[in-house]
């Protein structure tokens, strides 16, 4: 059966189809727009990830000792990049290669593996230590520099082959520093090469006096110096000393430097039994200094000869003669004279010895030999390196006392001041050249020696 549709119904059908088709097209358009937006978003996301990745440097190199910085891999162009690998345990002072991982991005993150190279390209540094050496005294290369600075172990060597014997003179010697990575630097070290033929100098040896049984300090006040060797050797030879017997004994000091230059000096040790009365010399020197200062006898501006001249003359004028004294020891005689101002020739000698010692002038005791009428004592004084006779108490007559100052053996009165030279300590020799033409006994002054 065929159906017939009226025009009105046909028109309604056509209108409804058009509406449906329009709706479909709108949906399709919306979907296309959404798909376009999605495509753009996906493309942007991919582009952003590629952008982040492109900003990460895949391999970075830092110098040893430099802290690990994320900017080494980002160039500072990514603010939120962080390591995902723990780098806190990496020792940057040692050259090495490390594989690390870092991530970048906030809501959208990228992760990338990178390589860290720690390298050492910095040569070591140091300061030269100027050397003063002998021709055959080449020091170790390590001793020629100081303050070595490098993160690695440094080897010090001479940059050039060094001869067994150096030429004398002053010049620079190149010294090479090499670290464990092979970095090198060369430092020029000033060398002064000297040829040493000068022996050391010994200071302080002097004649000594000690008592049997006392500890003898041979090295007290003894020093030795050398022009080049900072620590020359020093020894004292006491093999001749018989510590239980009275007598005069030689004591020899010997010094030598590291080049074998040697010197020696010998002094005399007077070893004796302790007397019943004994005073420490320094105690006597203090009493003597008081007398010297109070009476303005001499001062530091004077020469040793002038000081001794005035002291001998003063003792002669001011010590009152008395026919008896305690002669057990010169220190007892000096003490009695200094404290009472009375005494005989022994006290004159002892007081003179104490006052000379107070101003640093060495003297020893001389006794008359042979004894004719009575014993007699005077001083042998060391002035300007020479020993001379000084006697503050000399009998010229029964009523007159005078004195002698700086006499040679030839100038002594053989009747009054004869003595046995063999009794003098070893090394003590009386001067032979007279100085009497330089002495003014009225003004107690000394004229300059004529050349």
For helices 345-358 and 330-340, give the axis angle rounded to 10 degrees: 90
**What pLDDT score does 400 carry?**
59
Mean pLDDT of 191-204: 92
8-40 pLDDT per residue, tens: 565 665 677 778 788 777 777 777 767 766 655
Residue 211, CA distances (Å) to 64, 201, 216, 243, 388 in order: 72, 29, 9, 9, 27
Mean pLDDT of 349-373: 94
Which class in CATH covers the domain with range 125-193? Answer: mainly beta
Q: Are 294 and 300 in contact, with CB atoms under 8 Å apart? A: no
Q: Which residues are within 8 A (CB) of 329 and not within 5 positions of it... i.e. 6 or more apart?
A: 275, 277, 278
Equal CATH topology for 125-193 and 281-446: no
Is the CATH code 2.60.40.10 the one for domain 55-119?
A: yes
What is the β-pairing status of strands 184-193 and 131-133? Answer: parallel
103-133 pLDDT per residue, tens: 887 777 888 899 999 999 999 999 999 998 8
**59 vs 426: which has the higher pLDDT:** 59
Q: Are 381 and 387 in contact, with CB atoms under 8 Å apart? A: yes
Kindly report the pTM of this predicted structure. Answer: 0.53
407-427 pLDDT per residue, tens: 999 999 888 899 999 988 877
Q: DSSP label at 240?
A: T
Q: How confident is the model at residue 365 (pLDDT cuts 50, 70, 90)?
A: very high
Pick one of 2.60.40.10, 3.40.50.720, 2.60.40.420, 3.40.50.20 as the CATH number of 201-272: 2.60.40.10
Pick one of 3.60.70, 2.50.20, 3.20.20, 3.10.620 as the CATH number of 281-446: 3.10.620
**Residues 89, 83: Cα–Cα separation, whole Å:** 13
Closest CA to 307 of 355, 377, 351, 378: 355
Instruction: Give 363's strand partners.
Output: 381
Indicate the domain borders of the chain. 55-119, 125-193, 201-272, 281-446
128-163 pLDDT per residue, tens: 999 988 888 889 999 999 999 999 899 999 999 998
Closest CA to 193 of 169, 171, 164: 169
**Residues 339, 88: Cα–Cα separation, whole Å:** 87
**What pLDDT score does 67 carry?**
94
């Amino acid at each position: 059966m065929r159906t017939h549709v009226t025009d009105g119904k046909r028109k309604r059908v056509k209108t409804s189809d058009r509406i449906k088709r329009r709706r479909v097209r709108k949906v399709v358009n919306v979907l296309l727009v959404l798909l376009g937006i999605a495509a753009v978003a996906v493309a942007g996301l991919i582009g952003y990830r590629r952008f982040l990745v492109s900003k990460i440097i895949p391999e970075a190199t830092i110098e040893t000792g430099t802290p690990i910085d994320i900017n080494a891999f980002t160039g500072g162009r990514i603010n939120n990049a962080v390591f995902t690998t723990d780098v806190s345990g990496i020792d940057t002072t040692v050259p090495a290669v490390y594989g690390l991982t870092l991530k970048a991005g906030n809501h959208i993150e990228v992760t990338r593996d990178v390589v860290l190279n720690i390298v050492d390209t910095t040569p070591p540094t140091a300061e030269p230590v100027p050397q003063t050496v002998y021709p055959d005294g080449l020091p170790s290369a390590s001793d020629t520099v100081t303050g070595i600075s490098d993160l690695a172990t440094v080897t010090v060597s001479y940059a050039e082959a060094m001869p067994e014997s150096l030429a004398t003179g002053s010049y620079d010697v190149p010294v090479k520093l090499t670290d464990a990575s092979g970095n090198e630097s060369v430092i020029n070290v000033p060398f002064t090469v000297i040829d040493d033929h000068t022996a050391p100098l010994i200071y302080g040896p002097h004649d000594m006096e000690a008592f049997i049984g006392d500890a003898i300090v041979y090295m007290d006040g003894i020093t030795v110096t050398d022009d080049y060797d900072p620590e020359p050797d020093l020894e004292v030879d006491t093999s001749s000393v018989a510590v239980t017997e009275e007598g005069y004994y030689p004591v020899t000091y010997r010094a030598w430097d590291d080049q074998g230059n040697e010197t020696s000096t010998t002094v005399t040790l007077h070893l004796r039994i302790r007397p019943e009365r004994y005073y420490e010399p320094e105690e006597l020197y203090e009493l003597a200094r008081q007398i010297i200062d109070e009476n303005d006898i001499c001062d530091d501006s004077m020469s040793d000869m002038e000081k001794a001249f005035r002291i001998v003359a003063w003792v002669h004028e001011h010590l009152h003669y008395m026919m008896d004294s305690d002669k057990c020891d010169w220190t007892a005689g000096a003490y009695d004279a200094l404290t009472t101002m009375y005494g005989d020739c022994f006290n004159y000698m002892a007081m003179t010895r104490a006052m000379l010692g107070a101003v640093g002038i060495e003297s020893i005791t001389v006794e008359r030999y042979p004894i004719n009428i009575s014993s007699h004592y005077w001083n042998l004084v060391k002035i300007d390196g020479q020993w001379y006779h000084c006697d503050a108490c000399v009998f010229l007559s029964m009523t007159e006392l005078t004195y002698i100052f700086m006499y040679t053996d030839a100038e002594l009165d053989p009747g009054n001041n004869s003595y046995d030279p063999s009794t003098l300590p070893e090394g003590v020799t009386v001067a032979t050249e007279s100085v009497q033409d330089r002495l003014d006994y009225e003004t107690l002054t000394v004229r300059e020696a004529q050349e």
